[in-house]
Amino acid sequence: MNADDADAADTQIIALTIRGDPLYPRHPRSIITLFSEYLIKQARGYGMVMTYDEFEVSLSFEDPPVTNSPHLTALWHDKRGDWNTAHEIVQEMGDKDAALIHAYLHRKEGDESNARYWYRQAGKSFPSGQTLNEEWERLTRSLLASV
């Protein structure tokens, strides 16, 4: 099966699932997740990347977009209220972006001394005067721009 055939099959699966066609068993993942994966795959094929607005829309999906970096996946989980999963993801990574997200998560948790440690590990200063939402948006936009 070539790429065009695979894309046609994906389109058929999505169309049948949306219609609720009884000839096609429901996919184990949600239709929204399947459709988002399809759209992202199509966009990637044309050299496009996910925008901040698209990332925000993905927050309504059951699962994080599959093409995201682990950094963005951590931020996705955090924004959906799953601090523990976000923390587990970044805790396993050793780069400066992960340290910065780790810092943000501890700041959000209210553990300022731990947050300051992770900001130092990331080579950044503590973001005084910036709200948590502003910091999340800045981190997300920065990581999306680097994908």
Q: Which of 16, 94, 124 is nearest to 104 (CA)?
A: 124
Higher per-residue confidence, 38 vs 111: 111
What is the pLDDT at residue 30?
59
Alpha helices in the chain (DSSP H): 3-19, 31-45, 52-58, 70-79, 83-91, 96-109, 112-122, 132-146
| Angle at 33 (CA atoms; ends 58, 144), nearest 5 degrees | 35
CA 128 to chain centre: 26
The pLDDT tens digits of the residues spanning 119-132 come to 999 999 999 999 99
Residue 110 amino acid letter: G
Contacts of 9 (CB under 8 A, 6+ apart): 1
Is 71:90 a contact under the CB 8 Å cutoff? yes
Domain boundaries 68-147, CATH class:
mainly alpha
Tokens 């698209």, residue? 54
- Reported as a pLDDT band with limits 50, 70 and 90, residue 47 is very low
Domain ranges of the chain: 1-48, 68-147
What is the pLDDT at residue 69?
84
| Whether residue 55 has pLDDT greater than 60 | yes
